[in-house]
Chains A and B, each alone.
Chain A
Amino acid sequence: MTNVTDRIIAGDVRAAARLIRDIDDGMPEARQALKDLYPHTGKAYIVGVTGAPGVGKSTLVDRFIQHLRAQGKTVGVLAVDPTSPFTGGAILGDRVRMQRHATDEGVFIRSMATRGHFGGLTPSTRSVINVLDAMGKDVILVETVGVGQDEVDIVRTAHTTIIVLIPGMGDDVQAIKAGILEVGDLFVINKADRDGADKTAHELRQMLEMQSPDSEKGDWRAPILKTDALSDKGIDEVLNAIEEHRAYLTQNGGKQLEAHMAKKMRIELLDLVKQRVIEDFLMGLEQSAEFGSIVEDMVAKKLDPYTACDMIINKRLKS
């Protein structure tokens, strides 16, 4: 076992922060550490927090940290913000709302940029969760980028997924769309001090009741809760609902949880393989002379892109 692994299991913040960087930057040496850490994972409870930009996800997460700490639980937070598609840079601003917990040794907060990945998380998120899990965090809160409708990676990552809305959102037409409403294990209407919270809750309830039964969710009925995170209202009720969902997943010998984990692991493995295949396959392709000349032929209309694609794939698969 490597030294880094021992340090992380002992809760060393610097070592964990460094490994997370290596994972995020795609350093091959991070793989061995992840392999070594894996036997120490599986204890943390993972909660996803998702919703449109500006609904108050970070402020809610800040309150969750506060209340979970009051219960004596240690907390890991991963906050994902978008990378600029134009410059590759990012301003990671979620931390501002939670920075008051920075010096609490029972809390580890990490901001991550999407780096071109769609789906609301980063390609490294699941591995980074494993690091926080191995560090011994009891609860890991994963805040996605402000998502619209089909950025639902989080469901395949978290045990409990919370969808955050605000009054006035989720009118009938929006809510009937596929995607985000199908995936919530619990719904939070934040900024509930504003007008229209009850109406939004009512509309949401109606939409959820119209959904056809979902074998994956079983007979879990997603609760709708109201919070005012800024004034610290309704937070314990949300944490209780998370506990209820957890109890639901683990009841009857944990059949639901097992099914959930099996699904999650299929996707985790598939994503890892995809990532590696794509990286290996594409390595050096764009810089190769062959690629350049194919593009030239396309520009000169001597070659169509579909034939060009076939050519490249056939050649690479043979070599």
Chain B
Amino acid sequence: MTGQRRLRIMVAKPGLDGHDRGARIVARAFRDAGFEVIYSGLHQTPEQVVAGAIQEDVDLLGLSSLAGAHLYLFSRIIEILTDKGAGDIAVIGGGIFPQDDVPRLKGMGVREIFGPGSKLENIVEWVSANIKPRE
């Protein structure tokens, strides 16, 4: 019997940000690329996002933020992931971020940032090239 790993991704909306059109479109693009996508729904606390990602055993956590609270929310999520021994779940971010925040986000461990105008095929390409199902 030979197993076959499938990439599992959680697309999450942390914080009080009600705009999820982008997150849903990216989720669809991931589905169409053959990945299994779990969508968190709106208004998630960092704790809820991490608990969901761990229960679902995802390889990648895609965080969407358009409301400006990304520095706090993303760093808190990465902190809880590490605390829970799930630091091997990769984190990427999508949404609206001031240019100056991009290096800060990457510095705290966000692997890649996709801002406005990012092409779906580029996001999918980046994921396919950089994220492998964890063994």
A contact set with B: CB distance below 8 Å = 13-14, 17-18, 20-22, 24-28, 83-84, 87-93, 95-97, 99-100, 102-103, 108-111, 113, 115, 276, 279-280, 283
Q: How far is the CB of B123 from chain A (nearest CB, A)?
A: 14
Contact with A along B1-14 (1 / 0, CB 8 A): 11111101000000
Q: How far is the CB of A114 from chain B (nearest CB, A)?
A: 11
Task: Report whether A279 and B5 are in contact in the complex, using a CB–CB cutoff of 8 Å.
Answer: no
Task: Report whether A99 and B35 are in contact in the complex, using a CB–CB cutoff of 8 Å.
Answer: no
Task: Report whether B57 and A17 are in contact in the complex, using a CB–CB cutoff of 8 Å.
Answer: yes
Q: Does B96 contact A (CB under 8 A)?
A: no
Task: Report whether B55 and A102 are in contact in the complex, using a CB–CB cutoff of 8 Å.
Answer: yes
Task: Report whether B48 and A84 are in contact in the complex, using a CB–CB cutoff of 8 Å.
Answer: no
7 sample A-B contacts, Cβ–Cβ < 8 Å, listed by A number: A17-B55, A89-B33, A89-B35, A91-B27, A92-B36, A103-B45, A109-B52
- Tell me how many residues of B have a C-beta within 8 Å of chain A: 35
Given contacts A17-B56, A95-B52, contact A276 B1 (CB under 8 A): yes
Q: Which of B71-98 contact A (CB under 8 A)?
A: 84-86
Task: Report whether B44 and A13 are in contact in the complex, using a CB–CB cutoff of 8 Å.
Answer: no
Nearest 4 Cβ contacts at the A-B interface = A96-B41, A89-B31, A27-B3, A17-B57
Instruction: Determine the distance from Cα of A20 to Cα of B54 in the docked complex, in whole angstroms.
Output: 12
Q: Which residues of A contact B31 (CB under 8 A)?
A: 84, 87, 89-91
Task: Report whether A99 and B41 are in contact in the complex, using a CB–CB cutoff of 8 Å.
Answer: yes
Q: Which residues of A contact B3 (CB under 8 A)?
A: 22, 25-28
Given contacts A99-B48, A102-B55, A110-B56, contact A87 B41 (CB under 8 A): no
Q: Does B108 contact A (CB under 8 A)?
A: no
Task: Report whether B47 and A95 are in contact in the complex, using a CB–CB cutoff of 8 Å.
Answer: no
Task: Report whether B34 and A87 are in contact in the complex, using a CB–CB cutoff of 8 Å.
Answer: yes
Q: How far is the CB of A109 from chain B (nearest CB, A)?
A: 6
Instruction: Determine the distance from Cα of A284 to Cα of B105 in the docked complex, in whole angstroms.
Output: 45
Task: Report whether A96 and B39 are in contact in the complex, using a CB–CB cutoff of 8 Å.
Answer: yes
Task: Report whether A87 and B4 are in contact in the complex, using a CB–CB cutoff of 8 Å.
Answer: no
SS class, residues of chain A in contact with chain B: mixed
Most chain B beta-carbon neighbours within 10 Å: one of A20, A27, A89, A100: A89
Q: Does B19 contact A (CB under 8 A)?
A: no
Q: How far is the CB of A110 from chain B (nearest CB, A)?
A: 6
Task: Report whether B55 and A13 are in contact in the complex, using a CB–CB cutoff of 8 Å.
Answer: yes
Given A28-B1, A95-B38, 6 more pairs with CB closer than 8 A = A17-B57, A24-B6, A28-B3, A92-B37, A95-B56, A113-B6
Q: How far is the CB of A66 from chain B (nearest CB, A)?
A: 16
Instruction: Determine the distance from Cα of A65 to Cα of B35 in the docked complex, in whole angstroms.
Output: 28
Instruction: Determine the distance from Cα of A276 to Cα of B2 in the docked complex, in whole angstroms.
Output: 10
With both beta carbons as reference points, the residue of chain B lying nearest to A279 in the complex is identified as B1
Q: How far is the CB of A134 from chain B (nearest CB, A)?
A: 16
Task: Report whether B33 and A90 are in contact in the complex, using a CB–CB cutoff of 8 Å.
Answer: no
Task: Report whether B36 and A95 are in contact in the complex, using a CB–CB cutoff of 8 Å.
Answer: no
Task: Report whether A13 and B54 are in contact in the complex, using a CB–CB cutoff of 8 Å.
Answer: yes
With both beta carbons as reference points, the residue of chain B lying nearest to A16 in the complex is identified as B55
Q: Which residues of A contact B28 (CB under 8 A)?
A: 91
Q: Which residues of A contact B5 (CB under 8 A)?
A: 25
Q: Which residues of B contact A27 (CB under 8 A)?
A: 3
Q: How far is the CB of B133 from chain A (nearest CB, A)?
A: 8
Task: Report whether A103 and B51 are in contact in the complex, using a CB–CB cutoff of 8 Å.
Answer: yes
Q: Which residues of B contact A28 (CB under 8 A)?
A: 1-3
With both beta carbons as reference points, the residue of chain B lying nearest to A284 in the complex is identified as B2
Task: Report whether A111 and B4 are in contact in the complex, using a CB–CB cutoff of 8 Å.
Answer: no
Q: Which residues of B contact A24 (CB under 8 A)?
A: 6
Q: Which residues of A contact B1 (CB under 8 A)?
A: 26, 28, 276, 279-280
Q: How far is the CB of A139 from chain B (nearest CB, A)?
A: 17
With both beta carbons as reference points, the residue of chain B lying nearest to A90 in the complex is identified as B36
Q: Which residues of B contact A21 (CB under 8 A)?
A: 8, 57
Q: Which residues of A contact B45 (CB under 8 A)?
A: 103
Q: Which residues of B contact A93 (CB under 8 A)?
A: 39
Q: How far is the CB of A194 from chain B (nearest CB, A)?
A: 24
